[in-house]
Amino acid sequence: MELIDSLDKVTSPFKDAVVTIGNFDGFHIGHQALFHQVIEKAEAINGTSIAITFEPHPIKVLKQNGHPPLITLYEQKIELISRSGIDVLICIPFTWEFADIEASQFIEDILIQQVGMKAIVIGKDYTFGKNREGNFDLLKTFGNRLDFEVIVADWISPPNGHEKRISSTRIRELVMAGKVSGVQQMLGRHYQIRGTVKTGRNRGGKLLGFPTANINLYDELCPKVGVYAVTVECKGSKHKGVANIGYSPTFDDHIYTVEVHLLDFSDNIYGEKIRVNFVKRIRDEKKFSGITELSNQINKDVDKARKILSS
């Protein structure tokens, strides 16, 4: 995949470009199906499959206060898109000036003249341009005049059939509710957070017999407080583990932490970047009578995690 991080670097139109545009937060299976249609269409006309996205996410610019946390930050989103098979990803820096571009100008000057669009694949409710004036009807009008095809992709329902459609909003709600198993069905992968292992409070190994990696989070969205069975990617290998998210009520810390105990692992990973994949929620966070009761519960959590991660 070719990554282009500015429209200024698009110096000539691509050959018969088939385009999709969006924020693609989470890059869920609905997004993946959209990309598949783009790639199929590009192959059919011997053209170039192109995705256009934005950084920062437009909501961060347009709603500087109170915007929802992102499911995938830029680095992970690029990684996920790069595995899709798309030929080119154009990432447009999103500014107030860019937000002020009229939808018609965006179609003619950027999509047609600059990118060389011959077809566009969009979702049913896709809007774009200043005041969201761009939509399917506008694209069809311009398509008839400028000779490009407009393809509307169907919404994708998750495999469980409980949801009508997959959306980034619904995924965010499920993560915040701790329902990470349901999230996996929508993402096509386990929900992942990333961070750097930092020095903790030296209680895990010394007091409880379970050394933990205390994580300095990069991500904005973290699952609900509680204990989870997880897998951990670190230094090029994957390990099973148990994650605790919360405030350590037994110790009355009232400090929010994300800690992971890696099963059958003893390496020093302070300062290392790790990725934590959430497989299943085990239980709520709870205040115990003391260290012995807490340690016994962690033993049970580890046993449960082993069974979950072995199935």
Q: For 251-290, what is each residue's pLDDT tens digit?
A: 677 789 999 999 998 888 999 999 999 999 999 998 887 7
Average pLDDT over residues 155-176: 83
- Report CA-CA distances (Å) from 103 to 95, 131, 138, 146: 15, 9, 8, 15
CB 69, CB 220: distance < 8 Å:
yes
CB 16, CB 47: distance < 8 Å:
yes
- Based on the domain organization, do 148 and 27 belong to the same domain? yes
Q: For 28-52, what is each residue's pLDDT tens digit?
A: 999 999 999 999 999 999 999 999 9
Residue with tokens 């997004």: 31
- Based on the domain organization, do 13 and 58 belong to the same domain? yes
State the pLDDT at residue 287: 83
The H or E element that residue 19 is part of is: strand 17-21
- Based on the domain organization, do 214 and 297 belong to the same domain? yes
- Based on the domain organization, do 218 and 302 belong to the same domain? yes
- Based on the domain organization, do 111 and 197 belong to the same domain? no
- Based on the domain organization, do 124 and 231 belong to the same domain? no
Grade residue 159 by pLDDT with cuts at 50, 70 and 90. confident
Any domain includes 159:
no
- Based on the domain organization, do 38 and 138 belong to the same domain? yes
**What is the domain-level CATH number for residue 63?**
3.40.50.620
State the pLDDT at residue 163: 66
**What is the domain-level CATH number for residue 193?**
2.40.30.30
Grade residue 204 by pLDDT with cuts at 50, 70 and 90. very low
pLDDT above 70: percentage of residues in the chain: 95
- Based on the domain organization, do 148 and 209 belong to the same domain? no
Q: What is the DSSP string of 212-268?
A: -EEEEE--S--PPSEEEEEEEEETTEEEEEEEEEE--GGGT----EEEEEETT----
- Based on the domain organization, do 206 and 98 belong to the same domain? no
166 pLDDT above the threshold of 80: yes
State the pLDDT at residue 202: 56
**β pairing state of 48-55 and 17-21:** parallel
- Based on the domain organization, do 279 and 201 belong to the same domain? yes
Any domain includes 177:
no
User: Residue 232 is part of which domain span?
Assistant: 189-310
212 pLDDT above the threshold of 90: no
Angle (CA) 95 101 106, round 5°: 115
- From the list 167, 240, 235, 228, the residue with the least C-alpha distance to 196 is 235
- From the list 158, 155, 153, the residue with the least C-alpha distance to 186 is 158
Any domain includes 165:
no
- Tally of CA atoms within 13 A in the half-sphere of 14 that contains its CB: 27
Grade residue 311 by pLDDT with cuts at 50, 70 and 90. confident
Q: What is the DSSP string of 144-197?
A: HHHT-EEEEPPPPPPTTS-SSS--HHHHHHHHHTT-HHHHHHHHTS-EEEEEEE
Q: What are the contacts of 163-168 at 24+ separation with CB within 8 A?
A: 165/30, 166/28, 166/29, 166/30, 167/28, 167/30, 168/23, 168/25, 168/26, 168/28, 168/71
**Most confident of the ranges 42-56, 142-156, 187-201:** 42-56
Any domain includes 57:
yes
pTM equals: 0.91
- Based on the domain organization, do 209 and 136 belong to the same domain? no
Q: For 95-106, what is each residue's pLDDT tens digit?
A: 999 999 999 999
Positive/negative CA dihedral, 124, 125, 126, 131: positive
User: How many domains are contained in the chain?
Assistant: 2
64 pLDDT above the threshold of 50: yes
Tokens of 212: 């933990």
Any domain includes 176:
no
- Based on the domain organization, do 216 and 107 belong to the same domain? no
Q: What is the DSSP string of 66-94?
A: SPPPPSS-HHHHHHHHHTTT-SEEEEEEP
Any domain includes 67:
yes
Any domain includes 61:
yes
81 pLDDT above the threshold of 70: yes
CA–CA gap between residue 33 and residue 125 (Å, rounded): 16
Residues forming beta bridges with residue 215, ordered by sequence position = 197
Return the C-alpha torsion angle 302, 255, 206, 282, nearest 10.
-10
Select from 152, 176, 201 the last residue of a domain. 152
State the pLDDT at residue 157: 78
Grade residue 292 by pLDDT with cuts at 50, 70 and 90. confident
